Structure 1
């Protein structure tokens, strides 16, 4: 594995929430980072500015994760401007909640396009490009085990992510590239908190034995572990949830 000074990462959904925390944590380890955004270039530029102000290297790259051409171009840009790709972290995702009986099928299609097709497209590019000694980290959810009502379609999309992640790890035999998924529990991000009243948030904050919600920085630590020193962890789902399940 190359030293971190010459390592390069691409983080999808890297302009906010968990994605931004991952970008900043990897940069802290000396990794140059491509900060991917889907629609908000200004937030990506803010993240790049924060990284560079702290002495790191970062660029912004855009595109729909479910669009193969757009993601190929994003990977090309990171390789051209930063010198290659060693780590791909796929945090991009959407969460639309409803009981299965009432979920709009258009919402199902939107979520699955981003969470399943998007993860597949990014994983496909990563499998072709990540250099030996590198790592691919996808994102699942602890709800695949917690079975919260209202999360059926979202959990289904993330169960698909787990399936493709574990198989890709086996398909990359001999490449010296690890492939794992991180499955956060309740984490205080805008995506998670949106639409929840305070009582619901308070109840969820007590679900873990540590009696608090996770933070984006908590999840970023797990990613940094898998992206760097955890070379003997491969084909696994790491539940980063404070012991909630």
Structure 2
């Protein structure tokens, strides 16, 4: 059943390539200063944060997160009840902070490290940079994940995605939103790759849920399209 759904999603992705490209041009930023991700690498997938789309926030995030995890297949590390456990242990905001900030550091500051982004901000007079503690928080999160899920070692990679509304068309029929996703290397404390693009969907709850159910696979495809680079 899962294999059938996965194959169906792959066919859907192929049919959607022209649609996604017509909305915007996905930009994949690859950190060429660290080794390429191995084919057998494992990933912790943080819960997705979605802001501003029509319908139940909880339902939308659950639908997308389910598709995102299915897209990674056997490459994901099983982390039951992760969202609840993150909240209970003081990491409720890390997923949003990490994914929202990654777009800015690769596009505005041309770097892949939250710590480096903070230092660059200091050089430009930004004393209260939002990147100040994010790098440290991610290090603490990595250690917590190892302990909480009894892993043999700190998970090598953390993957995360963020979806943010950019407004509804004048007629109210379409909603535009930015998709940001990336992979963070815990060993090198730097982003390995980031993808960012803008797409749109009919502004209807059922249609948005349908699109989110496929978006996880589309993002996975864009993240691991090695032919595109920064």
- State the TM-score, normalized to the length of structure 2: 0.39
Higher strand share: 2
- State the TM-score, normalized to the length of structure 1: 0.37
